[in-house]
Chains A and B, each alone.
Chain A
Amino acid sequence: MRFLRIIYFEIKQLYSKWFLAILITVLAIYAFTSFGVGSGNPRLILYNLNYLIIILLILYLSTSFAVVRPMIDVVFTTQVDPVEYYIARAIATGFIYPIAMIMITMPTLRPGLDLAYYVAILLLLLGFLILFTANIQLIPWRSKILLSIPIFVIIILGYIKPELSPLYGLVRPGPIYVFYALALLALSIATIPRQGIRELTTNAYGVLGEQPPIMPRRLGARPIGLPRTPWGIAWVTSTTNLTFMMNSPQGSRAVSMRINIFIILMPLTISFAIAYCIVALLIHNTGAQVFLSSYSFYIIYLMLYAFSASTISYERLWLSLSIDPTRYFRYRMGARTLITAITLLPWITAYALQGMYFRPAVYLAAALVSAVMTSPVLSWFIAAYVGQPQVRELQMMQRPMMYSLRALLMLLFIFIAISIYMTPYALALLAVYYQGLAILWPISAALTAVLLIASAAFLYYAVVSESGRGMWAWLVNRLSEDGYV
């Protein structure tokens, strides 16, 4: 009973009633309309499940911090069993999983023994996904990558060999998939970072509060002194700050260090972009090229927004905005846009190269250029509108991120925006598939030009023009209302 009540209060903190009501309505409509399609096309259902897991992973891993300040000030000062609390909170955090998974797989349901298998597989897989996501959130980076492998394998299997994916058990239930899901749940229970959780509850200020001395030379940051120009300060403070979990002899620690972010980001984007180019070169099938290019663009776009928005939590209004908020934001956004451009340059190049033998990919390169010009600014406005909490002492948010109606609206906005960006690409695809629609090529090119010009105009308005003052004033006001100091 106590366990359930903990889940209840954690859910109350994380989700608004409106968010849940609309989410359930949308998914119910989806389930109702896909009843005819689902039972005859289990692969489609599986693809949707895969897609859902990817979106939720990006959402949870980027916006919902595992530890928030009230946990330390209130929860960890009580005698509650830390592992019990951890599991309850994981269930609350992953509350969208059961709602979405049931709605998506409902069209494949059949009465009889299959239903019993389905329920068993669903419960076991939910346990696995919820706990595994929480485990990945809490552990240090080195182990994070290792622990993410099973999830990546499941997602990849879902596309290349669906029968081998445990999620297939939800569309074609059977006893083998029950054991498969059971094994995964056992894996997630075995990987609960019990030691880390206990250490957190008895040494929270040690784990989260202790900062190691700066090691600037090795990590490529400036050892002392900041540039003397406003642009120089905005650039250096935008590029040499990063918070992450690292291992230490005492366990994992959240560390905010002066690290040149390019040292972390560039190897990642370059290596993934090279891998993408190699895979794209090896594929000759047009359908596979479409899947690869559109899917990768989707993921990059969502990650761009999620991570770009998260940085607003570290802003300090009383300090940064004490002289001229508009000037500050313009410099900061200029720096952020440049960082985003440099970081995504390998991907823009990759799509452009792919465009040499799969022409529609060129339009994704152009779409990414448009996104670079708009997302650094828009992501902060979205974060402020949604009410993303400020990070204060201990590198922690003051409260958990709440999934509200505003969050849902902004999610919708992001999906509409991506649809607009991808329209030239979609038109080009039509031209590829239907030779008679060659007229669509110049339309795609014209639309791309319009999008690039519109994005550049937006960037000019926000970062260069004096007339953008009103929008920054709105942001300052909104952040103050969100409790930023």
Chain B
Amino acid sequence: MCITASELTKRFNGITALNGISFRIGCGEAAALLGPNGAGKTTTLRIFAGLLKPDSGSAYVCSFDVQRQPREAKACLGYLPEDAVPFLNLTVRENLEYVAVLRGLSDSVVDDAIRLLGLEDLADRTAGSLSRGNRQRLAIALAIMHRPRVLLLDEPLNYLDIPTQESVIRLFRELNASGSTLFVSTHIMSIAERLTSRVIMISKGVIVWQGTMDELKDNAASAGERIEEVVARLMK
């Protein structure tokens, strides 16, 4: 298993964000984390990224406990936060070079990442001068440049124009096909459908449904509903 949640619980000032959720995602799988606003999706991803400590329970990435073996776990994962902020005072290229240094990668990955995200024309511009969409492209490049075994994506297509959305979806699919595990938090069903084959649905901090995307589609077909309507019903 590449991602394992075991009885994860997290409270913020007495409000339960996660209430003992457990699930497993196998290596090479692509799973979507769906849920309404405030369901605990971002909290779950932050726990797996090693940026938030659960009150109880454990989170494992590549079989490493993210709290007890954070460096091993972080070497294995790439994380794209929602509204990610790169180094705004550095250029696009310097951002990538810096992360290559932090991750102990050779400089050749920098050019690869620039090419993959189509950042050639922006390479010498400071990140602070980029539009929000181009900044998101840079953030994606920073998250994938080391070809992580596990990729945690929080609303990955935010701010991107339609052509870029298509190329980014293609990129994520290629990464998944080459063995990377995708764990995507989103509230847009069409993105989940195109990127993942499995669904974990949470609401008010508990898992309300999990299964394959095909099962979800079958449920919709048998009920004569759109997939979004089925999801909305399950989340209530």
Contact = CB atoms under 8 A, between A and B. Distances in A.
Contacts of B90: 9, 12-13
Nearest to B104: A2
Contact of A77 (B12, B51, B95, B97): B51
Contacts of A250: 53
A69 B83 CA distance: 11
Interface string A207-232: 00111110000000000000000000
B151 to A, nearest CB: 11
A483 B127 CA distance: 12
B13 interface: yes
Contacts of B49: 77
B52 A203 contact: yes
Given A12-B94, A203-B51, A78 B102 contact: yes
A13 B51 contact: no
Contacts of B19: none
A203 B75 CA distance: 17
A400 B51 contact: no
B13 A77 contact: no
Interface string A390-411: 0001000011101000000000
Contacts of B52: 203-206, 209
A399 B77 CA distance: 24
A483 B89 CA distance: 12
A76 B87 contact: no
Contact of A206 (B53, B72, B84, B85): B53
Nearest to A213: B13
A380 B173 CA distance: 48
B71 A76 contact: no
A6 B70 contact: no
A5 interface: yes
B139 interface: yes
Contacts of A442: none
A74 interface: yes
Interface in A7-60: 9, 12-14
A5 B94 CA distance: 11
A9 B97 contact: yes
In terms of DSSP, what is the predominant structure of the interface of chain A? helix
B223 interface: no
A148 B117 CA distance: 47
B187 interface: no
Contact of B87 (A74, A80, A85, A210): A74
Given A12-B94, A76-B51, A202-B53, A399 B85 contact: yes
Interface residues of B, number: 40
Interface in A52-86: 69-70, 72-81, 85
B50 interface: yes
A290 to B, nearest CB: 42
B101 to A, nearest CB: 5
A201 interface: yes
A437 B180 CA distance: 83
Contact of A398 (B46, B71, B85): B85
B86 interface: yes
A402 B103 CA distance: 25
Interface string B33-55: 00000000000001001111100
Interface string B87-124: 11110001101110111100000000000000000000
A73 B84 contact: yes
Nearest to A70: B87
Contacts of A70: 85-88
Interface residues of A, number: 40
B46 A73 contact: no
Nearest to B50: A202
Contacts of A398: 85, 88
Contact of B89 (A85, A211, A399): A399
Given A6-B102, A78-B102, A213-B13, A205 B89 contact: no
Contacts of B94: 9, 12
B210 interface: no
A86 to B, nearest CB: 13
B13 A210 contact: yes
B79 interface: yes
A258 B53 CA distance: 26
B197 interface: no
Contacts of A206: 52-53
Contacts of B128: 399, 483
Q: Which of A75, A76, A250, A400 has the most CB of B within 10 A?
A: A76
Nearest to B103: A78
A78 B74 contact: yes
Q: Which of A2, A77, A210 has the most CB of B within 10 A?
A: A77
A256 to B, nearest CB: 13
A455 B223 CA distance: 75
Contact of A78 (B83, B85, B88, B99): B99
Contact of A205 (B46, B67, B104): B46
Contacts of A13: 87, 89-90
Contacts of B66: 202
Given A74-B99, A206-B52, A393-B83, 13 more contacts: A9-B97, A13-B87, A13-B89, A73-B86, A73-B139, A77-B49, A77-B79, A79-B75, A79-B102, A202-B50, A202-B67, A211-B13, A213-B14
15 contacts: A6-B101, A13-B89, A73-B84, A74-B102, A77-B49, A77-B78, A78-B75, A202-B50, A202-B66, A203-B51, A203-B53, A210-B12, A213-B13, A393-B83, A398-B85
The 4 closest A-B pairs by CB, nearest first: A399-B88, A203-B53, A79-B75, A13-B89
Interface of B: 12-14, 46, 49-53, 66-67, 70-72, 74-75, 77-79, 81, 83-90, 94-95, 97-99, 101-104, 128, 139, 142
Interface of A: 2, 5-6, 9, 12-14, 69-70, 72-81, 85, 199, 201-206, 209-213, 250, 389, 393, 398-400, 402, 483
